[in-house]
Structure 1
């Protein structure tokens, strides 16, 4: 069991975590026809906008209530009202998602009360979906804001059923945590649909931030799960929650519509994907398709090939709790040691991380503990620590702004786990010096028998299966 500690420094040095409003905004971006709004100053929104644009390299819909000093003191009713009216006039969204920020939370703005007044003053907004989420950025982190927003979307749009509803046996809800990329969601959709099931993802970033080029410009999100699809989630036979952060949202959906749920805290690794396939087989009544049996065999072979290079490696990881949990347990299964683990916020998963200590801290805390490690895993802000220490960096999480294809990275399922083994294994292979004729002769103990030494040195790991 890991010892969980919090950094006691007066300030964060090279911060690892991002704020709740940013996480909430990302969740709203997985809803079709949505305009996320940060209720705060323009600077708060500009920061989030730049971060998302650099990571996804796409046009990002994100607006602000543009609170200034006077409005902050007097209250933000007028700013919220004007922002909603301007957005409706210019963008014509189906949903407006409002995330609070630190400045308006400290002031104590009654946003729910403001929204009631705005609807009363403007009857034309009666059919507009407006969802407010309390996401102060002076507490918690990105993952928390994302999870709260998914829960609020369910509370707002899924009807409360007093009597049992007719179930669509092939429909399943999938609550996708913020540690899943659009590529991960696409992979999961392919897997679930192969069993004859019809998944509804909430949020569905694969529809809005997967890098496709639309036929027509739209100022709102380009795709994702629709408001009608969210409302229909109450008629599904099952809910699949991916990541501990989605537990509360799954419980809320179960309470509102009596939809049972199954939670998978990770889908990276062999055993966890066996459990996932077994569950899909059970609820669909179909055996696992042949292609997944083949992918499983490929993963097992990749594990056999890769464990020679993973065994005994010391890894330092800095990530949100669910991503940290997923990657660290997979690395342990591959024979590596999680020598340093740093995260952003508290979670029930932290005590079960396979490391002696888990620190809720920043990238400086990670750097101090990664000096004797073989690899650092974190987002792009870890590149300076990697350079200073001379330890290779594998980028995971958000933001990833100095590499292409961040949205299409896949680390779930048999295939995603297989590719992750290859990606990290190749880094470890690159760290191993190429053997030279002199080293071969020294290993053989006889400079006159180079051929024998060379032949024995070139035996490949796959031949030792």
Structure 2
């Protein structure tokens, strides 16, 4: 049992966490034809846009209700209405993802009531799904906002229908990249199953050129697929944070679900494939049996470099859980674990303590580590501590290829093993040289 401590400081120094609205926007961007709409000032949206563009190196559609000092005091209903009507006219979105910011949450706008009255005044909006997510950025972190948006999507759009025995829902938490989702989809389809993935970043933020310019997302989970979710035979929830969305689907449509908190590491992938065997009735394809043997060989080749190495991590809870268990399975020791927000997983981590804090706390705890794992903001810390650095999480703005990066499944686990193993190998070579 890990002891969870929250840093008792008046201010975050060198912040680690990203805001809830940013997480919700990222989740909405996994839907096709979507326009995320920030209900707040222009600065909130501009900041999120910069972060997303730097990480993915893609054009990111985001919009804002552009609240000013006056509208914040008098109420933002007119701004929301005007923003929605302008988007419908100019961008023609298939879905609008409406999310709040610290400014409007502090003011306490009745968003549900505002949306009802806007729809009453504008019957032409009847067929347009406007999915609302409450995401105050003065609490929680990226993972919370992402999970809230996923839960809002599955509450708002899916419709009941006749059960399709070959169709399953996959809810992917913020721990999974576009490359991860692509690998998961390929694994599921190899079992003869059709997966509706929410959100499907692999079709929108995987880094591809579209045939024509679009003001909204060109790929992702379609509105038709979202509506069909109620007909699925099973839900696979990937990451503890999307449990609420899986429970919502179970309550509304009676769809059973299973949580897979990680898909990195031999045991975790074995469990996932066994789950697919149980649902589909098919055996594991030869391709994955071979990949499993490759991973076993990779573990044999690399475990000499991982054994007794001290690793410090600063990641969102779902991703922290996955990587900590993976490192432990390879014989590494977790020296420090710092995260951004509360999660029921934290107390079950196989470490002495977990700190909910910032990068200042992380730097203090990581002294003497052989490896530091964090987003790009951890680079300066690794340099000051004179240790190896592996970039993981969000944002990564000083490396290319974040859209295709994959650390799940047998193949992704192997790549992660080699990437981190090579860092340890380099460090040993440098030590020998000196």
1:354 to 350, 353, 356: 350
Partner of 1:146: 146
Q: Are 1:56 and 2:52 counterparts?
A: no
Distance 1:372 1:56 in 2: 32
Q: 1:410 to 1:71 in 2, by over 3 A?
A: same
Equivalent residue, structure 1, for 2:383: 387
Displacement of 1:266 in angstroms is: 0.4
- The alignment status of 1:235 with 2:231, answered yes or no, reads yes
Mapped pair 1:276 → 2:276:
no
Higher mean alpha-carbon deviation, 53-62 vs 132-141, is at: 132-141
Q: Which secondary structure does the structure 2 equivalent of 1:235 belong to?
A: strand
Query: What is the aligned partner in structure 2 of residue 100 from structure 1?
Result: 100
- Aligned to 2:229, the other structure's residue is in SS state helix
Matched, 1:293 2:293: no
Deviation readout 1:8-58 (Å, 9 max, x if unpaired):
111111111011111110111011100001100000000000000000000
Is 2:87 the partner of 1:91?
Answer: no
2 CA distance for matches of 1:33 and 1:130?
12
| Aligned position for 1:46 | 46
User: Residue 367 of structure 1: SS of its match in structure 2?
Assistant: helix
Question: What is the aligned partner in structure 1 of residue 196 from structure 2?
Answer: 200
1:389 Cα offset (Å): 1.1
Superposition map of 1:52-451 within 5 A = 52-159=52-159, 161=160, 166-433=162-429
Shift of 1:434: 6.5
How far off is 1:72 after superposition?
Answer: 0.3
Structure 2 gap segments, 5+ residues each: none
Q: Contact 1:18/1:142 (CA < 8 Å) preserved in 2? A: yes
SS of aligned partner of 1:259 = coil
Q: Secondary structure at the match of 1:128?
A: coil
Return closer, same or farther for 1:436/1:370 CA change in 2, 3 Å cut-off.
closer
SS of the equivalent of 1:423 reads helix
TM-superposed CA distance for 1:212, in Å, is: 0.8
Counterpart check, 1:28 vs 2:24: no
Any unmatched runs of 5+ in structure 1?
440-465
SS where residue 325 of structure 1 aligns? helix
- Cα displacement (A) at 1:436: 7.8
Structure 2: distance between partners of 1:436 and 1:43: 50
SS in 1 for 2:334: strand
Q: Is the 8 A contact 1:95 1:128 kept in 2?
A: yes
Q: Which stretch of structure 1 is more off in the superposition, 337-346 or 348-357?
A: 348-357
What is the match of residue 13 of structure 2? 13
* Residues 371, 391 of structure 1: 8 Å contact kept: no
Between the aligned partners of 1:126 and 1:277, the Cα distance in structure 2 is 41
Instruction: Give the SS at the match of 1:393.
Output: strand
**1:166 positional shift:** 2.8
Q: Answer whether contact 1:5 1:359 (CA < 8 A) is retained.
A: yes
Deviation of residue 433 (structure 1)?
2.9
CA distance in 2, matches of 1:24, 1:274: 31
RMSD: 1.3
User: 2 CA distance for matches of 1:112 and 1:168?
Assistant: 33
Instruction: Tell me how far apart the structure 2 counterparts of residues 8 and 336 of structure 1 sit (CA, whole Å).
Output: 29
Q: Does the CA contact (< 8 Å) of 1:24 and 1:146 recur in 2? A: yes
Segments of 4+ moved more than 2 angstroms: 433-437
SS in 2 for 1:278: helix
SS of the residue aligned with 2:213?
Answer: coil
Where 2:170 maps in the other structure, the secondary structure is strand
Write the distance in 2 (CA, Å) between the matches of 1:338 and 1:351: 15
CA deviation digits over 1:256-315, x for unaligned, max 9? 111111110001000111111111112111110111010000000111111100000000
Distance in 1, matches of 2:224 and 2:61, equals 21
TM-score under structure 1 length normalisation? 0.92
Match of 1:444 in 2: none
Return the TM-score normalized by structure 2: 0.98
